[in-house]
Amino acid sequence: MIRRSAIFWTLVFATGADAQSLSFPSNATLTRETVTGLDSYAMPIGPWADGVSPVRVVEGQVTQQAWRILATGLTTLQLIRPLRDQLRNDGYDIVFECRDQDCGGFDFRFGTQVLPPPYMQVNLGDFRYLAATKDDTEVLSVIASKSTRAGYVQVTRAGSAKTDVATADAAPLRSPSTAVPTVDLAADLQTTGRAILTGLTFETGSSQLSPRPFDALQALADYLANAPDLQVALVGHTDSSGALDINIALSKRRAGSVLERLVSDYGVARKQLEAQGMGYLAPVASNLTQEGRDANRRVEVIITSTQ
């Protein structure tokens, strides 16, 4: 993991005399960087509607960086506006901006490439997004969000880039073949705002949760009982087998089954819960192995509102 505080940050994907920089405060830390030499990036350029967001696809070097800014009381506008101004000064055209629900809320967030927590955190009830282009060859997006203790900013850039450009030392990537189990659900929710409900099993070929107690559901029920104003989304995920629409429907039904079990057997208030399904759009592991497919079939809990 990269731990680097800086008064300014020179974007590693800039080249030659045209290099741009984005100024961050001294309490900003680069938490994660990934660089792909030749790839494509589908940058959202409009809100989520009718099951999709319009995108602009650009091929070339793709760089993603996540930053954590240690400060309380920041607004997402305070996080994103200085970056927007700097991009305009560097010759970028801002082609789309939105805020959480205007973007499409949950669906927009999970249809957008975001680095995983704890490197990047997105509060579904409080985030901002912008998309920018430059000279028809580069695209750049910024998503900004916050927790109670820090602000989070992710910058994604794609476009033409020289192969000999120097880059910052990237954090080592975790092997995609395994998922990290939730050891302490309450700690995960407190730290990252999300957790995998480990140990859940469903009847074969069914969306019905197996009729036995689950430690993860008891832990979630206890957590919500101590925070009656908290609202969470239960999000179902599948592996990549089958059509997307079928998998989205199945994953949402499985999340709904978990919701009903929490209400009926664990006494959780229905108003604190909602069920969503992402199908195979947000994998945590490779779908090329059985172990990876097993990890991708999961239900997560995500804090959506603290009221």
Q: Which of 232, 210, 212, 235 is nearest to 221 (CA)?
A: 232
Task: Give the pLDDT score at 53.
Answer: 86
Does the pLDDT value for residue 121 go beyond 60? yes
Which of 55-59, 106-110, 210-214, 258-262 has maximum average pLDDT? 258-262
Give backbone dihedrals phi and psi of 127, rounded to 5 degrees, phi first: -145, 160
Residue 207 near residue 253 (C-beta atoms within 8 A):
yes
Distance CA 130, CA 103 (A): 10
Does the pLDDT value for residue 287 go beyond 80? yes
249-262: average pLDDT: 92
Rounded percentage of the chain residues whose pLDDT exceeds 70: 82
Distances 126 to 64, 103, 154, 266, 303 between C-alpha atoms, Å:
21, 11, 14, 29, 11
Residue 30 near residue 69 (C-beta atoms within 8 A):
no
Q: List where CATH 3.30.1330.60 sits in the chain.
A: 185-305
Indicate the SS3 state at residue 75: coil
Task: Give the pLDDT score at 72.
Answer: 79
Task: Give the pLDDT score at 240.
Answer: 87
pTM: 0.53
Q: Please calculate the CA angle 204-210-215 and round it to the nearest 5 degrees.
A: 135
Q: Which of 59-73, 193-207, 238-252 has the lowest mean pLDDT?
A: 193-207
Q: Which of 281, 261, 285 is nearest to 273 (CA)?
A: 261
Only one residue has tokens 């940058």, namely 43
- Please count the other Cβ atoms lying within 10 Å of the Cβ belonging to residue 203: 11
DSSP, res 213: -
Residue 261 near residue 209 (C-beta atoms within 8 A):
yes
Distance CA 20, CA 90 (A): 7
Does the pLDDT value for residue 145 go beyond 90? yes
Q: pLDDT band for position 166 (50/70/90)?
A: very low
Second-level CATH architecture of 185-305: 2-Layer Sandwich (3.30)
Distance CA 263, CA 68 (A): 36
Bond before 118 cis per omega within 30 degrees: yes
Residue 37 near residue 12 (C-beta atoms within 8 A):
no
Task: Give the pLDDT score at 218.
Answer: 92
Q: Which of 176-190, 242-256, 282-296 has the lowest mean pLDDT?
A: 176-190
Give the pair of three-digit tokens for residue 256: 């709904």
